[in-house]
Structure 1
């Protein structure tokens, strides 16, 4: 008890003298790194990189990075003539397709890329029809160019990656 009183007095004197006592901030976990391989995304490689950067700017608990030599990617990205779609095997793992059919119909490629990455980050389709909701997918108007997750979507991803113990079952998501 006496030690606490002495410590409180020392801190009070230091504070009066303009000295601030610093306490250690709680440790924060490093973000989980997910590597993606866009080598098969053909003409959409830059758009895939843009979609990853959108998520990197929106969340703190996970980072999407291009795969480096000698690493196995968590996410593989392909391009084909169908609808965009994602195949998840677990949280942060799987593949997705940049489907030319949606692009040819006028959907915004960066929005498609960010949306499909969203599935690999654990988000389902929401079909709200709102441009503000990234996971509304093709239910939003074709002229919607918003590629950014809303606050709830970003918070959900951050929460999912705050702990390694969160499990997300495998699933297939199709844009249309």
Structure 2
């Protein structure tokens, strides 16, 4: 995990927005020592409705956790309202973000039946909830290229630019300015 620290006036600015991060921000001490790292924003997901795709969803979330520091995807505790609902259906995979880090993901069996990789689908759709748009057409090295990379593409990992964009989305100042998106279809 990469460590980020904040000092001086920047720390004070972050302190003003830390409730949006669902983590803790600690300002530098009066002596000017570096502050502890800023905690990742925790986003919970409920994959209880993901049926046979539950393990693919958990793996997609783990991939994002391995890839970025600014946000952490965690399964919601029993009885806890999750930021993200993940459901299986017979349509095409899609994400319906309501705001950054919130929305519904559908792992559609139509794409799976056509041969698309379930972990790539899960990671891609979670990417939409984390604020990423489709980037089509695109190569297999781009997670957000989605179906345009073809059924032979099984890469579930975001590339460097996608990671950087998510990090930027979840850096305190960006959280309040990311608008809700319309439905984002993996097949568009």
How far off is 1:40 after superposition?
A: 0.3
In the TM superposition, residue 26 of structure 1 has moved relative to its aligned partner by: 4.0
What's the offset of the Cα at 1:71? Answer: 1.8
Three-state SS of the structure 2 residue aligned to 1:165 is helix
Gaps of 5+ in 1: 1-22
Shift of 1:175: 1.6
TM-score when scaled to structure 2? 0.79
Query: Equivalents in 2 of 1:169, 1:42: separation in Å?
Result: 27
Contact 1:87/1:96, CA 8 A, preserved across alignment: yes
Partner of 1:150: 159
Structure 1 match to 2:45: 36
Give 1:1-150 correspondences, 5 Å limit.
24-150=33-159
Using the alignment, how far apart are the partners of 2:143 and 2:77 within structure 1?
28
**Corresponding residue for residue 10 of structure 1:** none
1:41 and 1:77 in contact (8 A); partners too: yes
1:18-52 Cα offsets, whole Å, 9 max, x none, are xxxxx733443210000000000000000000000
Q: Provide, for residues 95-145 of structure 1, a one-character-per-residue CA deviation record: whole Å limited to 9, x for no partner.
A: 010001101111111100000000000000001330000000011021001
Rounded Cα–Cα distance in structure 2 between residues aligned with 1:46 and 1:64? 14
Matched, 1:168 2:179: yes
Find the residue that maps to 2:73 and give its secondary structure.
strand
SS class of match (2:131) = coil
Query: Any idea what SS the aligned residue of 2:176 has?
Result: coil
TM-score, length-scaled by structure 1: 0.84
Q: CA RMSD in A?
A: 1.5
Once residues 31 and 149 of structure 1 are traced to their aligned partners in structure 2, the CA distance between those partners, rounded to angstroms, is: 18
